Amino acid sequence: MLAMIVAVAENGVIGKDNQLIWRIPEDLKYFKERTTGHVIIMGRRTLESLPFLLPNREHWVITSQLDYVPPYEGVKVFHSPEDAVQAAKGLDMVYCIGGAQVYTSMAPYADRLYVTELHQAFTGDVTFTEHTKPEWIEIERTPGAGQEDLAYDFVTYERRK
């Protein structure tokens, strides 16, 4: 199964200047619990925004640069979302972790979305709106905790059959 995991502001914003905007420790914990032990697929810009490789996860990166050398050892390089999807066939769970460009190009292949929905708008330069499309059905919503200043929910969507 291919799942996309993302944290989204009320106005669809997910990042600014190639960085995340907010810091929600419970969401980082949720992301870690979900993705640990699995392959994570990301765009070249998201890989380069990471300060280090995330422990106990296999990193796959998508880039159009045929001579691309990742900044970290052990990262598997793909030159199209389709190649990554093909390589992921047979794995029981694979997560696409962004960013905006790669969410858009992998959305047609995704079976599930894990969306942390913030109840506040933010200013940024990249957005995600896939979960608002009619092909997705909400199957679970849990209010997030631990953040007095910022309400948010953990929401799961599945592709409508």
Ligand X SMILES: NC(=O)c1ccc[n+]([C@@H]2O[C@H](COP(=O)([O-])OP(=O)(O)OC[C@H]3O[C@@H](n4cnc5c(N)ncnc54)[C@H](OP(=O)(O)O)[C@@H]3O)[C@@H](O)[C@H]2O)c1
Smallest gap from residue 127 Cβ to ligand X (A)? 9
In the stretch 92-111, what mask flags binding to ligand X with x, by CB under 6 A?
-----xxxxxx--x------
Smallest gap from residue 6 Cβ to ligand X (A)? 4
* Options 126, 144, 154, 157; binder of ligand X; rule CB under 6 A: 126
Smallest gap from residue 5 Cβ to ligand X (A)? 7
Tokens representing residue 132 in the block: 């608002």
Q: Name the site residues for ligand X (rule: CB under 6 A).
A: 6-7, 14-15, 18-20, 42-46, 49, 62-65, 79-81, 97-102, 105, 126
